[in-house]
Amino acid sequence: MTATLTPGSFAPTAAPVMHGVRWSLVAEGLWAGTRDGEFLGTVEFVDGAFETADNRGTRIGRSHSLAAAQNLVDAPAPELSPVLTWRDDRPSLAAGWLGFATLAVAAVTIATQLFVVTP
């Protein structure tokens, strides 16, 4: 069974408190989350899904359930790490690109020998 949410079907009550976070229905289809009085972000029902934004208004993601969208907002931010570190990822990435380049040179060499006619 599938339930379809429509803008008029939202109950004007606050969402349950989870992990010290309080969700309040601010307007029809718009929830605001706070933790200890600090604003966390919003969840808005738009075009059949729940769109989330953080405390600065930056879009976090989109979900098909209110609970999943609220978890996106109140989840701790992932620690930022460098995309590639030399000791971890770059040697394997370099080896992959070297292999790709070798195959490309071999393919061009074979194609040249097969299709180029010398007089």
The whole-angstrom separation of Cα 42 and Cα 54 is 7
Residues 6+ apart with CB under 8 A from 14: 22, 23, 24, 25
For the chain, counts of helices (H) and of strands (E): 2, 6
pLDDT per residue as tens, the chain (119 positions): 444 555 555 544 444 444 588 999 999 999 999 988 899 999 999 888 899 998 888 888 888 899 888 888 887 666 655 555 555 566 777 888 999 999 999 999 999 988 887 66
pTM, two decimals, is 0.51
Could you please state the CATH topology (level 3) that the domain comprising 7-74 is classified under: Thrombin, subunit H (2.40.10)
Instruction: Sketch the domain layout of the chain as residue ranges.
Output: 7-74, 83-119
